[in-house]
């Protein structure tokens, strides 16, 4: 385990150690109830995570996937702003701190404040941070706060898998508050049509507030996807521990977390010229890339062996990557 930058393996080990002894039946019942809550259509005005059993089940069920999704978003931010390092980070609605683990793994030393309205979630997050091996996580501040309360200025704000829990008015107020407080905003939602809609709504508000899109979009213009026909989302591979498989009722050693996101900043960045928006299709002697571009909207590129090094790069390209490679 790296003593400074936490990894996915460190998170799985911390979860396994902390949740050792949780009765499987109790965990599965809590997971089933949480799934029903998160898939409901009515935003909640009270914490979904009500007690330690709920929080423990949630941590095993969601933290590894949230960590990987946020880590992918931060990787795109670092590509667009390679020389930028946040000194402060606010994890809004951070719960048990999955996004904070990702931030601590991306940069060495940001001072993190986790805000959430569930004290049981914050308590378990503190415990996980203590065994993380990361000085940044161990020194994080965990504060109980209603989502949407006034925010202190911060370099980086993460809002991961939070907007669905809020009413439309509260979502708008939160995004505007974050835009006013942070130099960089990272918003992540499930990779579903309604998750994408919430991200696009947030993206529009961030741009209106004077921020510029760093990722995934190559531009600040209107998204070229026709609403209702498709949606922009990406995928992160999540390795499952035995505990994770037990709680989620699965047998595979991995799963793919689908997510939609936007990263916006108040300082100059260099967004990708184009972004791979679907899993590349590898054919004999050619690779088909679905791209969102800076100047041409959506387009398909066919890269063949005749393109030489670009063809080799296309064969290695992944869904969500910048294109062409640097």
For 78-128, what is each residue's pLDDT tens digit? Answer: 999 999 999 999 999 999 999 999 999 999 889 999 999 888 889 999 999
**What Å distances lie between residue 93 and 34, 100, 114, 154, 307, CA to CA?**
16, 11, 7, 15, 46
pLDDT for the residue numbered 42: 47
Cα angle: 115, vertex 257, 122; to 5 degrees: 20
Residue 236 in this model has a pLDDT that exceeds 90:
yes
Q: Percentage of residues in the chain with pLDDT exceeding 90?
A: 67
Residue 184 in this model has a pLDDT that exceeds 70:
yes
pLDDT for the residue numbered 28: 66
Given the structure tokens 């930028």, which residue do they identify? 84
156 with 227, same domain: the answer is: yes
Write out pLDDT tens, residues 128-156: 999 888 899 999 999 999 887 789 999 99
Q: Is residue 189 part of a domain?
A: yes
Average pLDDT for 215-236: 94
Half-sphere exposure of 235 (CA within 13 A, CB side): 11
Q: In the chain, how many domains are there?
A: 2
Contacts of 220 (CB under 8 A, 6+ apart): 207, 212, 213
pLDDT for the residue numbered 118: 85
Question: How far is the C-alpha of 121 from the C-alpha of 52, rounded, in Å?
Answer: 7
Question: How far is the C-alpha of 148 from the C-alpha of 177, rounded, in Å?
Answer: 7
DSSP 3-state of 279: coil
pLDDT for the residue numbered 159: 98
Measure CA 180 to chain center.
Answer: 21
Q: Is residue 2 part of a domain?
A: no
Return the minimum-mean-pLDDT range out of 37-46, 75-84, 272-281, 290-299: 37-46
Residue 170 in this model has a pLDDT that exceeds 90:
yes
233 with 127, same domain: the answer is: yes
Question: How far is the C-alpha of 134 from the C-alpha of 273, rounded, in Å?
Answer: 35
258 with 310, same domain: the answer is: no
Parent domain of 220? 8-265
Question: How far is the C-alpha of 287 from the C-alpha of 317, rounded, in Å?
Answer: 9
13 with 86, same domain: the answer is: yes
13 with 100, same domain: the answer is: yes
Question: How far is the C-alpha of 313 from the C-alpha of 54, rounded, in Å?
Answer: 44
H helices then E strands: how many in the chain? 10, 13
90 with 160, same domain: the answer is: yes
113 with 190, same domain: the answer is: yes
Given the structure tokens 């706060």, which residue do they identify? 145
Return the minimum-mean-pLDDT range out of 146-160, 200-214, 249-263, 273-287: 249-263
pLDDT for the residue numbered 29: 67
Instruction: Answer yes or no: are the C-beta atoms of 238 and 48 closer than 8 Å.
Output: no
Residue 294's pLDDT band (boundaries 50, 70, 90)? very high
Given the structure tokens 């065994």, which residue do they identify? 131
Is residue 2 classed exposed, middle or buried when 0-12, 13-18 and 19+ CB atoms within 10 A define those classes? exposed
Q: What mean pLDDT value characterizes the chain?
A: 88
pLDDT for the residue numbered 38: 52
For the CA atoms of 287, 290, 296, 297, the dihedral, rounded to the nearest 10 degrees, stands at 180
Residue 253 in this model has a pLDDT that exceeds 80:
no
234 with 155, same domain: the answer is: yes
255 with 288, same domain: the answer is: no
Which comes out higher in pLDDT, residue 252 or 256? 256
Residue 61's pLDDT band (boundaries 50, 70, 90)? confident
Q: Percentage of residues in the chain with pLDDT exceeding 70?
A: 83
pLDDT for the residue numbered 276: 97
172 with 236, same domain: the answer is: yes
Q: What is the CATH number of the domain that holds 164?
A: 3.40.50.150
Give strand pairing partners of 212: 265
Question: How far is the C-alpha of 318 from the C-alpha of 234, rounded, in Å?
Answer: 10
pLDDT for the residue numbered 228: 85
**302: which 2 tokens?**
């066919």
DSSP 3-state of 169: helix
Average pLDDT for 275-281: 96
pLDDT for the residue numbered 146: 87
Instruction: Answer yes or no: are the C-beta atoms of 45 and 168 closer than 8 Å.
Output: no
82 with 49, same domain: the answer is: yes
88 with 190, same domain: the answer is: yes
Residue 33 in this model has a pLDDT that exceeds 50:
yes
Q: Is residue 105 part of a domain?
A: yes
Residue 40 in this model has a pLDDT that exceeds 90:
no
Q: Is residue 282 part of a domain?
A: yes
Question: How far is the C-alpha of 69 from the C-alpha of 190, rounded, in Å?
Answer: 9
**222: which 2 tokens?**
């209107």
pLDDT for the residue numbered 51: 65
pLDDT for the residue numbered 55: 79
């Amino acid at each position: 385990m790296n003593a400074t930058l936490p990894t996915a393996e460190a998170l799985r080990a911390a979860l396994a150690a902390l949740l050792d002894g949780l009765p499987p039946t109790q965990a599965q019942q809590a997971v089933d109830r949480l799934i029903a809550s998160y898939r409901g259509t009515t935003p909640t005005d009270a914490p979904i995570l009500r007690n330690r059993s709920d929080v423990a089940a949630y941590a095993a069920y969601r933290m590894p996937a949230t960590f990987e999704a946020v880590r992918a978003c931060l990787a795109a931010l670092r590509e667009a702003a390679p020389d930028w390092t946040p000194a402060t980070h606010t994890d809004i609605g951070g719960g048990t701190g999955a996004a904070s683990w990702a931030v601590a793994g991306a940069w060495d030393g940001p001072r993190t404040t986790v805000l959430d309205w569930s004290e049981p979630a914050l308590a378990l997050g503190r415990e996980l941070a203590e065994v993380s091996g990361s000085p940044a996580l161990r020194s994080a501040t965990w504060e109980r706060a209603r989502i949407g309360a006034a925010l202190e200025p911060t370099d980086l704000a993460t809002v991961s898998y939070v907007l669905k829990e809020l009413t439309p008015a509260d979502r708008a107020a939160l995004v505007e508050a974050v835009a006013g407080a942070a130099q960089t905003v990272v918003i992540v939602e499930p990779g579903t049509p309604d998750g994408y809609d919430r991200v696009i709504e947030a993206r529009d508000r961030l741009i209106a507030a004077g921020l510029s899109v760093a990722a995934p979009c190559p531009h600040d213009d209107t998204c070229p996807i026709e609403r209702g026909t498709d949606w922009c989302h990406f995928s992160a591979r999540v390795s499952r521990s035995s505990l994770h498989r037990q709680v989620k009722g699965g047998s595979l050693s991995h799963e793919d977390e689908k997510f939609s996101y936007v990263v916006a900043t108040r300082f100059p960045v260099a967004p990708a010229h184009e972004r791979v928006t679907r899993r590349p299709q590898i054919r004999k002697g050619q690779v088909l890339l679905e791209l969102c571009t800076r100047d041409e909207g959506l387009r398909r590129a066919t890269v063949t062996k005749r393109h030489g090094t670009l063809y080799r790069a296309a064969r290695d390209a992944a869904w969500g990557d910048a294109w062409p490679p640097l």
